[in-house]
Amino acid sequence: MEGCGLERLEPRQINAFLIAECAHRSIGSTKNMVIALRVLMRFLYLEGYTSVSLAGTVPRAIPWRDSGRSQALEPGQVSRLLASCDRRTAAGRRDFATRWPPGSS
């Protein structure tokens, strides 16, 4: 890696990279990239490729948090949901067929 310019790497370059990459990634992909980039910046510093640790210039990925159990639909909401299935189409029949309990109308 000698001579590849890592010793001149600056926070603004990392920021520009992040902005460009995050623009076309999903949230999950962005989180993975940010975590990997932080690890890479630590590695580069510990191995002497950069004179300062640039890991702090990479924002931390916010961990996913479970917001709890989903609320059940009220019986009236279920009826409206099933009524919205257009059973004249294959997709509508499929959607309607997934109702619970089986055989109920």
Q: Which of 39, 35, 34, 12 is nearest to 22 (CA)?
A: 34
Average pLDDT, integer, range 20-38? 88
* Residue 103 confidence (pLDDT): 46
What's the pLDDT tens digit per position in 41-80? 999 999 999 988 999 888 887 766 666 666 787 888 888 8
Calpha distance 85→96 (Å, rounded): 6
Average pLDDT, integer, range 5-31? 88
